[in-house]
Amino acid sequence: MNSREPAGRLILAATPMGQIDDASPRLRAAMSTADIVAAEDTRRARTLAASLDVTIGGSLVSYYDQVEAARTPGLVDAIAGGSTVLLITDAGMPSVSDPGFKLVAACAEAGLRVTCLPGPSAVTTALAVSALPSERFCFDGFAPRKSGARREWLATLVEQPRTTVFFDSPHRLADTLADAVEVLGPQRRAAVCRELTKTYEEVRRGTLAELAQWAADGVKGEITVVVEGGTRRVRDLDELVDEAETLVDGGMRLKDACAAVTRDGDASRRQVYEAVLARRQER
């Protein structure tokens, strides 16, 4: 990295999710002064600029999922050459389940300046209105499309102590909630946030069973789901031995397997190891 910081920079800017008045004065200024505006959808970028009564001063280029890899090197070169690049997506914060991560990572690797104009985010907005604990949370992007993969993913949340936020398609929400009822249990609390900040904003709170019943009739709009954290179950020694033996059958060394299955609150690694040996001697 050069000792002297390049003049160029990448600006990540959050855009309104529904209410144009949520746009910050800094976003307005950046859209008019940036050398390059990289937008997920150039048509929406022009509409946003018109709504803000702003003229895009620099060049406008598309930067969506399918062109991220191809466009990133050129934008990095432009920033390295001294240009200011403003990155915006259709709504909310770039790089959060939207295009942007590849460009941020490439700029960081090149030692180029990356800054952010904070603003609307569906993740934190949904968390704030969910009425679920928000001191510690995790964001899991979009729920998997297929039921098998979705159930595997939900299984990782069974004992996840943190509140989980994720996005989902309105066409798949009913299936996701139905799977969640089976995997996480019908009484797990959750909130489905629909069309956040928009005219028809709706926040449904309840148990997964209640929300699954509601969603079965069909839901429209942009969807963000918040699910309360789970409680970790302390496993008995026999369960840990079974898990360790399964790992050994898969090719893992016994000592490594015993270490892999133990967690705080469970039996110790040594206890599991000795229990495995004892079981083997009984066979």
* pLDDT(152) > 50: yes
* pLDDT(1) > 50: no
| DSSP string over 242-268 | HHHHHHHHTT--HHHHHHHH--TTS--
pLDDT of residue 3: 44
Is the separation of the CB atoms in 86 and 48 below 8 Å?
no
* pLDDT(265) > 80: no
The string of pLDDT tens digits covering residues 47-83 is 999 999 999 999 999 999 999 999 999 999 999 999 9
Q: Mark out the alpha helices in the chain (DSSP H runs).
A: 25-33, 42-51, 68-80, 101-110, 122-129, 147-155, 173-184, 208-215, 237-249, 254-261, 269-282
Domains 9-120 and 123-227 share a fold: no
pLDDT of residue 211: 98
Three-class secondary structure of residue 96 per DSSP:
coil
* pLDDT(230) > 50: yes
**Rounded mean pLDDT of 87-101?**
93
Matching CATH number, 123-227, of 3.30.950.10, 3.40.50.300, 3.20.20.70, 2.60.120.10: 3.30.950.10
* pLDDT(223) > 50: yes
Distance CA 183, CA 151 (A): 7
The string of pLDDT tens digits covering residues 3-43 is 445 579 999 999 999 999 999 999 999 999 999 999 999 99
* pLDDT(149) > 90: yes
pLDDT of residue 2: 46
Of residues 27, 26, 25, 32, the one with CA closest to residue 15: 27
**pTM for this predicted structure:** 0.79
Assigned fold of 9-120: Cobalt-precorrin-4 Transmethylase; domain 1 (3.40.1010)
Domain boundaries, the chain: 9-120, 123-227, 237-282
**Rounded mean pLDDT of 171-200?**
96
